[in-house]
Structure 1
C-alpha cells in the first residue's frame, strides 16, 4: 500500500538522507513531502538538490520552500547575500556550488523556483516549513515570507493547555482549518526532544539535522517514525551550523 512521508529539514546532509530513505525501504509508490531547508549546513548542500531532482523522477515528491532555500535561491539568481545568511549555513552553499556548471545551476534555480509555500492534501493535512499567521488560513496570508520564517504557530502550539480541544472557545482558530499540520523550521532539540513532536494537531519534524540531530521522517497515516543517524557523524570534519 502506498505510504506518505513528511520529511524534516535536511540542511545539505545528503549522506544521512540516503540512509533515511534506505531505512524507510522506499518504494516507487510512496509519496515524499519534504518540509524545506534542503541547503545551508553541511557540504553536500548542492549535491542534495541534485539528488532530490533525480528522486522526483522516481517518486511523487512535494518540495515545500524553507527560509534557507529562499536565501540560496536569491543568491543563485542575482548574487544577493548577507552576513547573517553566511554565518548561518550560507557559506556551505557558496562553497558547494563552486564546482557546478552554469547548466547545473540553472537546473537548481528551476528547482528552487518551483517549490511551493505550502501543500494542502485531500485529507485536510497542511504541510508548511514554518507556519502561517492569518486566522482565516494560509490562503489569506498577507506576506509569503511567513510560510518559511514565522515561528508563532509552533510557539502557540507549545503554549496551548492540554485540556483545550477543537471547538472550544479558546482553541486557536488557526489550528481549526486542518486535521493535522506538519512543519519544520524550529528544531525540537530546543525543547529537549530528539524525535518528531506532536503538540495540539501540529507535528514538528525538524530534529536538528543542521546541528547534532538526525533527519527524520514520519508516515502520516500510521505515525511511524524513521530517522537517520545524527547527520554530523557523516561529516566528522565539518562544523555544520554549530
Structure 2
C-alpha cells in the first residue's frame, strides 16, 4: 500500500518498464506520475498507451506536464510549434506517423483528463513544475504555471537553511504544504542524477529526457529506484540535446 511518485518519462517506455520492475510495483500501490510523458525518446505514443492501460488496473494519478500540453495542442488543434519541435516534439511527431486515428482520439481524451496538481490526505502536493500564488494552488491565477513555472524550484535552490519559518524573508510558498513533489527542471542541471530535496521541495526529474535515469520514489520512506540512463537504453537515438 505504497504511494510512489514518478519523474518525467519523456517517451522512455523502456525506462518505465525498468523502474516498475525494480520497485516491484503491485496493483496495491498508488502511482503518481508528475507529467512530461512525451517528447525526447521514440516511444511517446507507447508511454501513453501504457498509462491508459495502467489506469484501468490500479490507482494512478497523472499530472499534466508542459510537453503533454504541447502535444495536446498539436493532436487536437493541429497547432505547430517550432520551438516544441526543437525540444523533443519532432521525435513525438515522427512517432505518431504510425498511430491510428482511433488511438490518437484516445490519447487526446487522456491528455485532456490530466490533472494540474494533486493534494493528498497528508497535505503533500504533487505538481509538474510549481505554482506562483503565495496563497497556494487553489488561488493560482494562471493554470499554465502548474506545468511551466520554475520559480518554485529556483527559490528552493537558493533557500537559506538557517532561516526560521517566522523569518520575514521565509518563502511563504514553502509553508503551505507538508511536502511538494515536482519534476520539470532536471536535477542534472545542478550535477545530480538522484532526487534532490531543497527545503520541503522534492525534485524527482532526474534527467530522463537527456542522459539521466528515470526515477520512482516512495513518498513516505524516500527510498527510490532508477532505470539505466536513457541514452544507454536508446543508444541508437539522438534524444534531446
Quote how far apart the aligned CAs of 1:171 are: 1.4
SS of corresponding position for 1:36: coil
- Which residues of 2 match residues 60-209 of structure 1 at below 5 A? 60-209=59-208
Tell me the distance in 2 between the aligned counterparts of 1:59 and 1:13.
21
Structure 2: state its 5+ residue gaps.
none
Distance (Å, rounded) in 2 between the aligned partners of 1:58 and 1:30: 11
1:47 — aligned with what? 46
Once superposed, which parts of structure 1, at least 4 consecutive aligned residues long, lie more than 4 Å away? none
Superposed CA RMSD in Å reads: 0.8
What's the TM-score once normalised by structure 2's chain length?
Answer: 0.98
SS at match of 1:75: helix
Please give the per-residue CA displacement for 1:30-51, whole angstroms capped at 9, x wherever unaligned: 0010000000000001111001
User: Do structure 1's residue 21 and structure 2's residue 20 form an aligned pair?
Assistant: yes
Query: What TM-score results when the alignment is normalised by the length of structure 1?
Result: 0.98
Instruction: Write the distance in 2 (CA, Å) between the matches of 1:78 and 1:223.
Output: 40
Following superposition, the deviation at residue 160 of structure 1 comes to: 0.9
User: Which residue of the partner structure matches residue 215 of structure 2?
Assistant: 216
Q: Which residue matches 2:226?
A: 227
Q: Aligned partners of 1:239, 1:20: CA distance in 2, in Å?
A: 22
Per-residue deviation at 1:165?
3.5
Mean Cα deviation higher: 160-169 or 129-138? 160-169
User: In structure 2, the residue corresponding to 1:97 is in which secondary structure?
Assistant: helix
Render the CA deviation track for 1:145-186: whole Å, top value 9, x for unaligned: 111011000000011101123343321111111000000000
The 2-side partners of 1:162 and 1:151 are apart by 20
Task: Measure, in 2, the Cα distance between the counterparts of 1:6 and 1:168.
Answer: 31
The 1-side partners of 2:163 and 2:192 are apart by 23
With 205-214 and 50-59 compared, the bigger mean Cα shift is at 50-59
Aligned to 2:33: 34
Greater alpha carbon shift after TM alignment, 161-170 vs 17-26: 161-170
Alpha-carbon distance in structure 2 between the residues aligned to 1:162 and 1:134: 22
Whole-angstrom distance in 2 between the partners of 1:166 and 1:99? 53
C-alpha separation between the residues in 2 aligned to 1:55 and 1:222?
Answer: 24
> What is the alpha-carbon distance in structure 1 between the residues aligned to residue 231 and residue 108 of structure 2?
27
